[in-house]
Structure 1
Amino acid sequence: MTRPLSNRFVVISGCSGGGKSTLLAELARRGHDVVEEPGRRVIAETLAGDGSALPWIDIQAFARRAIEVSLRDRAEAQRHKGWVFFDRGLIDAAVALEHASGKPVAESFCRKHRYHREVFLTPPWPEIYRHDADRRHDMTAALDEYERLLAAYPHLGYDVVILPKASVEARADFLLERLGA
């Protein structure tokens, strides 16, 4: 029996540099379907072409593009039958747009496009945080974003589960056990 979309679309969000992408790679290695972070794809597309939809130039344009990519990701993920794990996604992008614009947009997106009721957040983990070409912000900005997400998800009707600071294998085991997968 196939689960409804909202029950099998699982968001992994949390602090920037907290190990989300590494965890998603482990879940993919174990045979699960994963969706890469929309923001990183928006950055790559923008840098390959032209435009200013970059978080360090125009955060609102960046967040709008991330919302578009997230909606497309959700539509494409419908073809998968089992668990689908999202590296961030629609809600993170909507929260970013809401923060940048001051306009309430997250709730309308969230009402229409639900994910699994439990959202898994990576906590701040300064020991593994690294800058890269796409992650130009510092740990203070990462903590600010984390606090916004930590408040937004419960407000939008989700149960937040904080992932342990552990090996990637232990994190994947924890997440899959929590889901009963």
Structure 2
Amino acid sequence: MNRLIVISGCSGGGKSTLLAELGRRGYPVVEEPGRRIVAEQTRSGGGALPWVDMTAFLHRVIELARRDLKAASPSDKWIFLDRGLVDAMAALQHVTGEPLLKALAGEAQHYHQLAFLVLPWPEIYIQDSERRHGLADAMAEYSRLLEAYPALGYDVCIVPKATVVERADFVLGALRTRMRKLFA
């Protein structure tokens, strides 16, 4: 059984905070590839940044997301990922117009069947040095992901707007319910 759980959805919707809570509860967490690329490119003075060269940035994000998948060791615990390959491929498809998601559809599912998406949440959305795009762009991204995950065969579970503790409880509860249904 695939124990790699992707948490995706709207940029600035509280994914990182949710993942921090899951990590605090003892679950392995994989940090968002895009933020890691931005940090690395900023340190090295590179140009593969979304506000400099979006295509180069997304190619690096895809490469890192694939490495994350290979590095994820089999575990008896859920492993939570802050975004992943589907997000990066959907973004690159949007930027280039290339049918990248069709190519991805030919591959085996990379993550657990149940993909979690956080809703756009204007009240908590903030821009920072790594998130320079506005809320409208984040909401458009969310709409693309809401289409991409089901198109690739994932069951999307929308994480409600709630406290971080309630959100973590929701995610873990949804996974437990899915497991009970599978083995019933």
TM-score per shorter chain, which class? over 0.9
Aligned to 1:156: 152
User: Residue type of the partner of 2:77?
Assistant: G
Q: CA RMSD in A?
A: 1.3
Could you tell me which runs of 5 or more consecutive residues in structure 1 were left unpaired when the two chains were aligned: none
Q: Secondary structure at the match of 1:153?
A: helix
Q: What's the TM-score once normalised by structure 2's chain length?
A: 0.91
User: Residue type of the partner of 1:131?
Assistant: Q
Structure 2: distance between partners of 1:155 and 1:149: 10
- C-alpha displacement of 1:105: 1.4
Aligned to 1:25: 20
Structure 2: distance between partners of 1:138 and 1:30: 32
Could you tell me which runs of 5 or more consecutive residues in structure 2 were left unpaired when the two chains were aligned: 180-184
Aligned to 1:134: 130
User: Residue type of the partner of 2:15?
Assistant: K
Where do 1:22-171 residues align within 5 Å?
A: 22-110=17-105, 111-171=107-167
- Whether the aligned pair in 2 keeps the contact of 1:33 and 1:80 (CA below 8 Å) is no
Structure 2: distance between partners of 1:106 and 1:45: 26
- Whether the aligned pair in 1 keeps the contact of 2:69 and 2:110 (CA below 8 Å) is no
Q: Secondary structure at the match of 2:124?
A: coil
Q: Secondary structure at the match of 1:162?
A: strand
* Count of residues paired in the alignment: 176
Q: What's the TM-score once normalised by structure 1's chain length?
A: 0.93
